[in-house]
Structure 1
């Protein structure tokens, strides 16, 4: 293990060009389970399926999906949330954004093969969302940010969160789910992963650090944390240093 690529405590900026190349390569591969393109576990298709189902099952009631119609998925990957939302939401108008053209192509292929209505996808960077250029216009009943912030530096995390909040309708919500550092923040800086057979960069912040970023992002907007906690039971976690953590945030003024 190359510990020089595992940086604990210190704030280190990760390179976005390398991250984009990583995900373009992921999007161009074939997998036993297409979920592995962004959820990894390349050699354990059963685990990635279990995690996907566990996350959606746990969040369905909390998110109030029965009332949601217009949904924005920032960093949508293969569009896995869209598959679920098409079953849960009446008259769904879903827009998935991702900076990887190859992942968007995979998402479009999956939506077509599953014959899912109300699904739209667009190549657009989470750090440069152009509201007037969105193919589905806001405001949105719900914004999803699922496993995205680990690939962004702190200032861009604040920008993405604020942009999401400003695109969310009054009474609407944001679902934020991230792998967090359990004991401390640590960064993988072009760390070679045997499992992924590629170099990988990510920032694992603590839950407390995410709270600080949200306070900065939501200043003056009135969003509040409605629910938060660890997402999975330990049986679905593979690592001791990180665990999946979620927040459900609301804009005052009603329920979704």
Structure 2
């Protein structure tokens, strides 16, 4: 599994850099919109909301929560105070050649969306809805970063010619990508609740005559009837409440053949410091909850009582192998 470790290490490096860039943009937002100027007076949260001229109060409150979470602001009594926060952006030399350019423009676009979201969450320039903004999500799923983590998933899940794959929260690109890998002797089932994203995926699969089945469904309601060699859950749990993890993981593991593997990829919040900065921007999607903790996911799997082996790769991948 050296190839898996190598690929996941690159995934982790890029997620780490996303978090660092997000912290800088949080600081930029606090300066640009006068939030830090108000906070310098040690106000209450209500005084901040009344003093900062941003119509979307809910988003402003989430911004204050983010400042608390990453340590820029602390609460003393009922007052909010800046605590002399300093941040050093450092990229270790060994990571230089692992940084990918594709995600940068995507996050820059999302950063720009925040200014419009501060006016209203339904502003037409906020392009984070899975159905209304399916084209934006398709571009995001086509980046070199997305290709990288799909390569890591394929290596960890042994997705190759003739394999059967269940992909929850499949998006618009993975059905084509994994469908190509398994070939005409394999079988792929992709599940997503966005009809617009699935339509893009369906067009790609049909153009290439791939053995792909796509289902529009909330993953909390899945009841797979087939058995699969590999199941994939990537960047999906962040849209579920923690209390739903067990149900989804149980149904997924029930769909595996003996010896099958479940590959889970997420920026686990207990593995990346200050992940709340990145979460602030992801929350522009109304369905986003929070990135899961690795220990929550592992605990949910263990609670279901399956005979499994669980292995973590880096800080963003968990592989659950169902014992034969």
Give the TM-score taking structure 1 as reference length: 0.68
Aligned to 2:50: none
More helix by share: 2
Counterpart mapping for 1:5-44 below 5 A: 5=62, 6=65, 8=69, 22-27=129-134, 30-31=135-136, 34-36=138-140, 39=141
Does residue 1:205 correspond to 2:292, yes or no? yes
Are the structure 2 counterparts of residues 161 and 101 from structure 1 closer, same or farther at C-alpha, using a change threshold of 3 Å?
same
SS at match of 1:105: helix
Partner of 1:128: 221
Does the CA-based 8 Å contact 1:151-1:202 persist in structure 2? yes
Cα RMSD over matched residues?
3.1
Per mean C-alpha deviation after superposition, the further-off stretch among 170-179 and 56-65 is 56-65
Q: Could you tell me which of 240, 247, 251 is aligned with 2:318?
A: 247
Q: Comparing both structures, which one devotes a greater share of its residues to strand?
A: 1
- After TM superposition, the structure 1 = structure 2 runs for residues 217-256 of structure 1, keeping only pairs within 5 Å, are 219-230=304-315, 245-253=316-324
Q: Which residue of 198, 205, 208 corresponds with 1:104?
A: 198
Structure 2: tracts of 5 or more residues without a match: 1-28, 30-58, 71-121, 123-127
1:89 is the counterpart of 2:182? yes
5 Å matches for 1:180-199? 180-181=268-269, 182-183=272-273, 193=281
Query: Is contact 2:138-2:197 (8 Å) kept?
Result: no
C-alpha separation in 1, matches of 2:244 and 2:177: 28
Equivalence for 1:14: none
1:30-179 pair list within 5 angstroms: 30-31=135-136, 34-36=138-140, 39=141, 49-66=143-160, 69-78=163-172, 80-90=173-183, 91-113=185-207, 115-131=208-224, 137-179=225-267
Find the aligned partners of 1:225 and 1:177 in 2 and give their Cα distance: 13
Q: Compared with structure 1, are the counterparts of its residues 148 and 183 closer, same or farther at alpha carbon in structure 2 (3 Å cutoff)?
A: same
Q: Secondary structure at the match of 2:273?
A: coil
Distance in 2 of aligned mates of 1:252 and 1:92:
22
Q: Secondary structure at the match of 2:202?
A: helix
Larger relative CO (CA 8 A, sep 6+): 1 or 2? 1
- Contact 1:111–1:119 (Cα < 8 Å) also in 2: yes
Contact 1:92 1:117 in 2 (8 A): no
> 1 CA distance for matches of 2:162 and 2:311?
17
Distance 1:197-1:212 versus aligned 2 partners, 3 A rule:
closer
Larger Rg: 2
SS state at 1:204 partner = coil
What's the TM-score, normalizing by structure 2?
Answer: 0.55
